[in-house]
Structure 1
Amino acid sequence: MGLPEKLIYEIKRKNVILFVGAGVSNNLGLPLFDNLIRQIGEKLGYDPDEFESYGRYRELAEYYEIENNGINDLVKWMDEEWHRNSISLKDSKVHKLIFDLDFPIIYTTNYDRWLEKTYDSYGREYRKIVKVEDLVSLGNESTQIIKFHGDFSEENSIVLTESSYFERLDFETPLDIKLRSDILGKTILFIGYSLNDVNLRYLIFKLNKLWENSKHLDRRLSPYIFLAKPNPVQQKIFQKRGIEVVVSKQEREEDGLLQFLSELLEKSSEKQN
């Protein structure tokens, strides 16, 4: 797999912001959103297959919220399922590689706490940022893990329903303001996102808008995205938007991400002559 030399250079400089999507959590065998929607249907007394046909998962989650005056018990169920005792970090070499690459800032659209558990397990300090209070007295002494779509520990932070997602699209929260500051002069790397992931398309669109409206367009460094399988249509669109694409040649998606991160670690750890 050919790695961009510029990306390796920026990782060596600790100048890369990592964006982590659901594909990273899938390495631990976490339930997919299909399971969540089926659970919602069962809780509401529907046949799961029939319920899935009634809308997309954000719409169905909002229907659940309306019917139950909230999503507290749903979030509790998700938290329990996503953090079962049977799940072991040792089963995810990807999480260990993320830790070893030592990114100074990590944004994630995942709700689970396995990134944080990785840092706890290997004994490195970090700052988890979910709400505005977490932004107080931020320093550069430890890794920042920003839960961009919320965290199970804060029910009101979870971006799950259609309404909460539309509110997130405003891109005017304190976390968004922090992101505007973070991206100046830094490289962004997306991993764990599928080509059809609306989170990815939304983030890329918004990041482009941030740069277009910025007075510092000349300081923009090329974002990178790792794709677990080729798609010439989406690759061309990403490239048109100024994003450099790295595509896996592995048959299994999980093998591709593992190889990509392993090679990044190896190359970025090499001493310069």
Structure 2
Amino acid sequence: MALPPKVSAFCKKYAQDMADGAVAIFAGAGLSASAGFVNWQSLLAPFADELELDIERESEHLVRFAQFSQNHKMGNRAHLNDAIISAFPSMTSPSTNHEILARLPIKTFWTTNYDKLIEKALEQAHKNADVKHTDSQLPTAKPKRDAVVYKMHGDAEHPQEAVLTRDDYEAYGQKHMGFTNTLVGDLTGKTFLFIGFSFTDPNLDQVLSQIRLRYQNAQREHFCLIRVPQRSSYKSDADYIYAQVRHRHFVADLKRYNVTALEIEEFSQITEVLLTIEKHYRRRLIFVSGSASNFEPWGEPAVNSFFRDLGSILIDNQFQIVSGFGLGVGNSLISGAIEKAYANKNIKLDNFLQVRPFPRDIADPEERAAIWERYRKELLSLPGIALFFLGNKEVQGEVVPADGVRKEFDIAQAQGLVTLPIGATGSMAAELATEMLEDTTNHSSAFAKALKTLQEPVDDLHTLLQPIIETLKELAEE
């Protein structure tokens, strides 16, 4: 199912904000539900009979229901703590949505969930998560952290501290002032995407109200994914119509906090939204593959000049370069990129370059091959587009096609990157371009035309720069 135009436009803008490091995720119970965890209603349902209440009729007042249950036990909440421990087992695996979020360069996560799915997904993505579930943890920072996970309602392994009952919510402002102040700061300076969140949490309501009163019409815009009412969810047409009216008022009310609702038809579209954001982000990251021992017919100075200008023009068009620093071409490419970055007075090279030279000083050939294979896969997990140039090397005095460029091409295709060999540069790149043009089933006619144009022989490599950039721009906007 295609995403609505409003949602598609958001995905593109959020990807850009993400590249600028100015985004955050707020995960509600709906995100964890996709991994098989129970929601609040299911967690509290076992206590309904002893209270002589109907959990369905109390579904919009679950905080109050939890308080009733604690009151019924003479203020003892041990049964609620046990329910939390049972409902959120630590061995549960993250969902696809968690995995996508963990792959993205998001450094700030907020959640009201007790589970460990976010931090587990980050760990699986080889990221160092700094998890905060108490105010006392806020002043310290985990060394070399990649992301911070704020669990503002506590953690399943510490159920006695979890925010669950009305007592907990009423005391939150005093007991958890650190979380409140930190959240105010993040909502002020970052663009939030709320996923699986119902906006019924009184703590968040208080924070959003505080920001609204402080900034009035200058609030930062935030977004939430929200499913529109479906006829199949209601017993009668009257109930469905009522739900639609209520939904419209709810969406309009969110605008008071400058939260824009991104309406979807099915929860499965959340995955599509996240994948679209990932695609837009990754397609601004360009992997450059190539190596050369023979620079004919242009000569080494001309090839070096071309790669310097390629590095410069990629940076000038806001692309980020990912490279393994191929022999004979890598130095010129990186030099051009760095010169352009400094000329633009942007000295934070991480915004433009991810250079990872191959570890060459490994004596054992089999070990080196295994390490390089893993290295290539990790390197190619970052970008969304891969360019291939030249690709030749000298073996026992003879110039032959570079098998390393072929391996990078195969890995790139296996990992879903858009592969664009520049056949006009010859050697392995020419072979790859020919193969792709012979197989027209995997790309559009427009892409095939660009591929063919970039295969035509040229006297001056610099004439390739403009069509390369134009093709990259079109791919990034798809």
Range into which the TM-score falls when normalised by the shorter chain: 0.7 to 0.9
Local SS of the residue matching 1:3: helix
Note the 1:81-230 alignment, pairs <5 A: 81-83=87-89, 85=91, 87-89=92-94, 92-138=95-141, 141-168=145-172, 173-194=177-198, 197-199=199-201, 203-204=204-205, 206-213=207-214, 220-229=219-228
Structure-2 separation of matches of 1:133 and 1:172: 9
Contact 2:183 2:207 in 1 (8 A): no
CA deviations over 1:215-236 (Å, ceiling 9, x no partner) = x985x43111111226433222
- The alpha-carbon deviation at position 259 of structure 1 amounts to 1.0
The residue that corresponds to 1:239 in the other structure is 255
Relative distance call for 1:268 and 1:38 in structure 2 (3 A) is same
Local SS of the residue matching 1:244: strand
- The alpha-carbon deviation at position 245 of structure 1 amounts to 2.4
Contact 2:84 2:159 in 1 (8 A): no
- The alpha-carbon deviation at position 53 of structure 1 amounts to 5.5
2:211 is matched by which residue type in structure 1? L
1:109 is matched by which residue type in structure 2? T
- The alpha-carbon deviation at position 68 of structure 1 amounts to 5.1
Greater shift, 26-35 or 115-124, is seen at 115-124
Structure-2 separation of matches of 1:149 and 1:202: 10
The number of aligned residues is 259
Relative distance call for 1:224 and 1:54 in structure 2 (3 A) is closer
Structure-2 separation of matches of 1:242 and 1:34: 29
Contact 1:228 1:256 in 2 (8 A): no
Structure-2 separation of matches of 1:263 and 1:116: 22
Local SS of the residue matching 1:189: strand
Whether 2:258 is the aligned partner of 1:259: answer no
Structure-2 separation of matches of 1:114 and 1:46: 32
Contact 1:3 1:246 in 2 (8 A): no
- The alpha-carbon deviation at position 258 of structure 1 amounts to 0.9
Contact 2:43 2:83 in 1 (8 A): no
The residue that corresponds to 2:78 in the other structure is 72
Relative distance call for 1:154 and 1:243 in structure 2 (3 A) is same
Contact 1:18 1:189 in 2 (8 A): yes
Local SS of the residue matching 1:257: helix
Q: Larger RCO: Structure 1 or Structure 2 (Cα < 8 Å, ≥ 6 residues apart)?
A: 1
Kindly name which structure, 1 or 2, has the bigger radius of gyration based on alpha carbons: 2
Structure-1 separation of matches of 2:217 and 2:141: 26
CA deviations over 1:141-164 (Å, ceiling 9, x no partner) = 321100111212233431111111
1:36 is matched by which residue type in structure 2? L
Relative distance call for 1:25 and 1:159 in structure 2 (3 A) is same
1:151 is matched by which residue type in structure 2? D
Structure-2 separation of matches of 1:268 and 1:128: 25
Contact 2:88 2:156 in 1 (8 A): no
1:144 is matched by which residue type in structure 2? V
Structure-2 separation of matches of 1:82 and 1:36: 10
- The alpha-carbon deviation at position 95 of structure 1 amounts to 0.8
- The alpha-carbon deviation at position 171 of structure 1 amounts to 9.0
Structure-1 separation of matches of 2:255 and 2:36: 31
Identity rate, percent: 18
Contact 2:93 2:117 in 1 (8 A): no
- The alpha-carbon deviation at position 138 of structure 1 amounts to 2.2
CA deviations over 1:225-259 (Å, ceiling 9, x no partner) = 111226433222223432222222x4x32x12111
- The alpha-carbon deviation at position 134 of structure 1 amounts to 0.9
- The alpha-carbon deviation at position 52 of structure 1 amounts to 6.2
- The alpha-carbon deviation at position 46 of structure 1 amounts to 5.4
Relative distance call for 1:53 and 1:227 in structure 2 (3 A) is closer
2:63 is matched by which residue type in structure 1? R
Structure 2, unaligned stretches of length 5 or more? Answer: 230-246, 285-318, 320-472, 474-478
The residue that corresponds to 2:380 in the other structure is none
Structure-1 separation of matches of 2:80 and 2:261: 36
Relative distance call for 1:54 and 1:32 in structure 2 (3 A) is closer
Structure-2 separation of matches of 1:127 and 1:229: 35
Greater shift, 93-102 or 150-159, is seen at 150-159
TM-score where L is the length of structure 2: 0.49
Greater shift, 151-160 or 136-145, is seen at 136-145
The residue that corresponds to 2:416 in the other structure is none
CA deviations over 1:68-120 (Å, ceiling 9, x no partner) = 543234223322222175x433xx21111111123111010111111122223
Structure-1 separation of matches of 2:34 and 2:273: 14
Structure-1 separation of matches of 2:57 and 2:249: 28
Structure 1, unaligned stretches of length 5 or more? Answer: none
Whether 2:71 is the aligned partner of 1:58: answer no
